[in-house]
């Protein structure tokens, strides 16, 4: 037997050397030209699902809610190859779907997803990422009840990040524990609308392991989503949306919806504890000061669903705290940057480099580039150091008794009056040279040059009422024919039949999506900036103070932000009115409003180099179109 010992020793040594070498065989995350490369098989990727235990029991069934997490990751990922994670948490996977083509999850017989909506899985899994499609609590295959931006929404998503970092439990369908031993723990959250809102919310908790977020058309304050300075956009909206996204029998979460209706303060429009729980700038569950993640914001200035003050206030708060950040500002309605005409390849590459940098530490220079990409026309974009334009300076425009709008204040004692009646936006801007009982209007002469607004105008009015309060609307309007993004039609895009592809495909899940083109329209007028306030909320959103009848008082508030160029030869108008029935369900108060013209103005951030000093004085005879058709928005849920 002794003559066999050398042979056995040789075999043993061969096996000992070969085993670790075989374990290392297979692709590893590869970086070339500052980008991870598609070296992993999408077809062979692991597709699985787990249920992460949250810290809430939102449906009051006596057990902590579990969050359904659908996972796709490279086959090679595991203890020997840990990968970062991209998370899209959504309430829409089994109702309205995701993306321009309304994709929904498709499952196999084992309950695993074979078709993941959107291109994130097709593109990033081959490059060494895991992609998680998470069902928000109370929706699709998760437990619980949706509470529309509140505790369950926020802590359900946070639990997923905690699980990826070993701080929460998860279970497979058979009840056995599931550990995320295949990840580095570094994660990103991305998504449009409610999905991006959840990214903002979870980031505001300061959870460790969430390295970056990409909120697209996302809410930062649910109060701002449904209120403007005390003016209510829609009544009982939170309970309606909760019922829409919840596909369980209605009775299961009726108590939660009833509580929302009781607590939302629709009768006053005031900010209260209900809205503070749903405020990610300075709320009860988290705030901008706790954000650890970098933030890549995408929003459009004509989004009248998730109105753009949701991004501008969030962006400002992040800037004050020095959060690493980047921004794209578009001119469409509620549209994903994947569907900005001519920008799809740019978007995918920018997002790719952003994730590579923040999740894998790739030095690709993305943080050295201009911070802001801004759309300046239907198909034109510029880059600049920041947003708003760094050279923007505020210029006060002042109304006069002759209907003009300029730089000089009106004579002392000059006034203009109107009644707070419910009036749609089209009527507000029609015939601006003609008196109307429900509004007053003031216009410049033809502009001597192009004039770019970049940022958030401020209405600064002094008013007298004959009742305790009134709703006020302030509109900045551009009068003049021009080709503009027609964001009212198809939200600004038309979907074509031709496709392009980003990532790898299987028979069940292709990486190809239909191209789009921008809708363009020539209109005689465009409402550029809008702002609303309930006068009794002029000093506080939470503690209303009626204005004593017959007494002038200062009412100052910010409109929605914009980035827009008034063309040479056009006229700029300021319209002041009562209740805007296009965007609010409130009735008018019937109050008579007297505007002190000498003590009123609108402050507009114009880019330096485009002064108004030579604007002619011949404004009073200008008459706008008799009516400009501005259709009401589509139902809110369709925009998600």
- Supply the residues annotated as catalytic: 193, 303, 334
CB 579 within 8 A of CB 589: yes
Enter the tokens of residue 253: 């979460």
Helix, strand, coil percentages in the chain from 3-state DSSP, rounded to 5: 20, 30, 45
**Residue 518: closest CA among 330, 328, 298:** 330
CB 429 within 8 A of CB 622: no
Phi, psi of 203 (to 5 degrees): -60, -35
Phi, psi of 215 (to 5 degrees): -80, 120
* Helix pair 151-164, 194-204: axis angle to 10 deg: 70
CB 125 within 8 A of CB 116: no
**Residue 158: closest CA among 112, 214, 225, 89:** 89
Give the C-alpha separation, 173 to 487, whole Å. 45
Instruction: Give burial (CB, 10 Å; 0-12/13-18/19+) of 254.
Output: middle
Alpha carbon of residue 149 to chain centroid: 13
Give the C-alpha separation, 334 to 640, whole Å. 8
Phi, psi of 472 (to 5 degrees): -125, 140
Residues, the chain? 640
Integer angstrom CA distances of residue 283 from 9, 59, 227, 265, 335 = 68, 23, 16, 17, 27
Kindly calculate the radius of gyration of the chain based on its CA atoms and give it in whole angstroms. 28
* Helix pair 254-263, 237-245: axis angle to 10 deg: 160
How many Cβ atoms are within 10 Å of 524's Cβ, its own excluded? 12
Q: CA angle at residue 620 from 615 to 623, to 5 degrees?
A: 105
Contacts of 189 (CB under 8 A, 6+ apart): 87, 88, 89, 157, 161, 198, 199, 202, 203, 210, 213, 214, 293
Give the C-alpha separation, 367 to 295, whole Å. 12
Enter the tokens of residue 594: 């007297």
């Amino acid at each position: 037997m002794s003559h066999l010992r050398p042979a056995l020793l040789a075999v043993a040594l061969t096996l000992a050397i070969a085993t670790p070498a075989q374990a290392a065989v297979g692709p590893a995350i590869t970086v070339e030209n500052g980008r991870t490369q598609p070296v992993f098989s999408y077809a062979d990727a692991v597709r699985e699902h787990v249920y992460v235990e949250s810290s809430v029991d939102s449906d009051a069934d006596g057990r902590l809610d579990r969050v359904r997490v659908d996972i796709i990751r490279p086959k090679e990922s595991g203890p020997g190859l840990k990968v970062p994670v991209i998370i899209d948490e959504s309430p829409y996977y089994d109702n309205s779907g995701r993306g321009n083509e309304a994709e929904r999850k498709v499952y196999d017989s084992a309950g695993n997803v074979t078709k993941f909506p959107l291109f994130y899985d097709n593109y990033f899994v081959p490059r060494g990422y895991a992609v998680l499609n998470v069902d928000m609590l109370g929706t699709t295959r998760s437990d619980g009840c949706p509470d529309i931006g509140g505790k369950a929404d926020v802590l359900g998503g946070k639990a997923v990040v905690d699980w990826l970092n070993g701080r929460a439990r998860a279970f497979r369908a058979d009840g056995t524990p599931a550990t995320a031993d295949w990840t580095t723990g570094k994660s990103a959250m991305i998504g449009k609308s409610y999905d991006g809102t959840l990214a903002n919310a979870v980031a505001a908790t300061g959870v460790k392991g969430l390295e970056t977020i990409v909120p697209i058309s996302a809410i930062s304050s649910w109060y701002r989503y449904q209120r403007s300075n005390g003016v209510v956009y829609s009544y009982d909206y939170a309970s309606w949306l909760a019922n829409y996204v919840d596909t369980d029998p209605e009775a299961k979460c009726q108590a939660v919806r009833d509580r929302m209706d009781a607590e939302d303060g629709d009768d006053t429009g005031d900010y209260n504890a209900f809205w503070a729980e749903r405020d990610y700038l300075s709320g009860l569950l988290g705030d901008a000061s706790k954000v650890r993640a970098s933030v890549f914001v995408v929003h459009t200035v004509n989004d009248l669903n998730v109105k753009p003050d949701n991004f501008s206030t969030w962006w400002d708060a992040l800037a004050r705290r020095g959060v690493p950040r980047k921004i794209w500002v578009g001119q469409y309605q509620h549209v994903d940057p994947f569907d900005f005409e001519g920008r799809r390849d740019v978007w995918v590459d920018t997002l790719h480099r952003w994730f590579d940098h923040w999740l894998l530490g790739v030095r690709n220079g993305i943080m050295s580039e201009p911070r802001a990409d801004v759309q300046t026309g239907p198909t034109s974009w510029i880059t600049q150091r920041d947003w708003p334009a760094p050279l923007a300076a505020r210029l006060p425009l002042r109304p006069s008794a002759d209907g003009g709008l300029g730089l000089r204040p009106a004579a002392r004692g000059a006034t203009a009056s109107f009644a707070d009646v419910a009036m749609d936006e089209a009527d507000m801007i029609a015939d601006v040279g003609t008196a109307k009982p429900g509004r007053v209007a003031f216009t410049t002469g033809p502009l001597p040059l192009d004039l770019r607004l970049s940022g958030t105008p401020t209405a600064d009015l002094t008013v007298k009422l004959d009742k305790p309060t009134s709703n006020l609307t302030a509109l900045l309007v551009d009068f003049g024919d021009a080709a503009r993004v027609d964001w009212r039609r198809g939200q600004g895009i038309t979907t074509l039949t031709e496709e392009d592809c980003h990532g790898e495909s299987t028979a069940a899940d292709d990486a190809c999506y239909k191209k789009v083109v921008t809708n363009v329209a020539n209109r005689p007028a465009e409402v550029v900036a809008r702002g609303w306030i309930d006068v009794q909320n002029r000093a506080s959103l939470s503690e209303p103070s009626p204005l004593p009848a017959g007494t002038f008082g200062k009412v100052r508030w910010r409109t929605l932000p914009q980035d827009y160029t008034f063309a040479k030869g056009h006229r700029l108008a300021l319209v002041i009115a009562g209740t805007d029935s296009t965007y609010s369900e409130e009735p008018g108060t019937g109050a008579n409003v007297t505007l002190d013209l000498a003590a009123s103005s609108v402050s507009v951030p114009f880019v330096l180099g485009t002064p108004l000093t030579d604007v002619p004085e011949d404004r009073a005879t200008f008459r706008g179109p008799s009516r400009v058709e501005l259709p009401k928005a589509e139902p809110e849920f369709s925009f998600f």
